[in-house]
Amino acid sequence: MAGWLPHVYDAAMKPLEKTRFEKIRAGLVHKAQGRALEIGFGTGANFRYYRNVEQVDAIEPNPAMAKQAVKRIRKSRIPIRLYQAKAEQLPFADNSFDSVVATLVFCTIPEPIRALQEIQRVSKPGAKLLLFEHVKMDQKIMGKTQKALTPIWKKLCDGCHLDRDTLELVKASGWEVQKVTSYYGGLFLTIECRNPQ
């Protein structure tokens, strides 16, 4: 990824963050507790919302994104440790985490089922998985439009799939879905899960 892209990402997100996104992120991240893992932290947009955790281990494969995030760590009241890693191969022992947070990430992860299983491996029994994702919409015409746009969108937006059905992937990978909340007509979902193992 080009070095300028993290700055473009932050600038593009600013109007959205000022509106409902800020509230959605805060509401979701406040639910994390104990030892937390964040997947694909990007420029660190969630870091300031952690309240009820002991520490956060945060992974991101792209060092250009991580550079921006370092500035945000200074504003956080919680200890946050950064790792360069992919969700499909996490550098942590089994049963390590009480909560896992991922926002706007599962659209981009190349092997989402493998990632969800890997997250389950490092999660304690009963751990929470807290997701905020844009997803394939149920509405037929919108769903078809998302599918048609995905090949070009993927090239422009760092591998992002507009038509990813993250809720179905989560269910298929063995997580117990406890609560789903829909935003913007079903374009965005928060998905709250529990590790049943």
Ligand X SMILES: C[S@@+](CC[C@H](N)C(=O)[O-])C[C@H]1O[C@@H](n2cnc3c(N)ncnc32)[C@H](O)[C@@H]1O
Nearer of residues 23 and 144 to ligand X, judged by Cβ? 23
Q: In whole angstroms, how close is the CB of 156 to ligand X at the nearest point?
A: 12
Question: Residue 168 to residues 20, 64, 136: CA-CA distances in angstroms?
Answer: 25, 31, 10
Closest residue by Cα to residue 113 from 85, 138, 87, 151: 87
Based on the shown chain and the rule CB under 6 A, indicate whether residue 117 belongs to the binding site for ligand X. no
Residue 131 near ligand X by CB under 6 A: no
- Under the binding rule (CB under 6 A), the answer on residue 161 touching ligand X is no
Tokens, residue 161: 């799939």
Tell me which stretch binds ligand X (CB under 6 A): 28-36, 108-116, 161-169, 171-179: 108-116
Residue 181, φ and ψ in degrees, nearest 5: -125, 135
**Quick check: 41 binds ligand X (CB under 6 A)?**
yes
Least distance between ligand X and beta carbon 191 (Å):
14
Angle formed at CA 60 by CA 57 and CA 65, multiple of 5 degrees:
120
Q: Is 50 helix (H, G, I), strand (E, B) or coil?
A: coil
| Choice from 32, 47, 60, 189 touching ligand X (CB under 6 A) | 60
Contact set with ligand X (CB under 6 A): 39-42, 45, 60-62, 65, 86-88, 103-105, 108-110
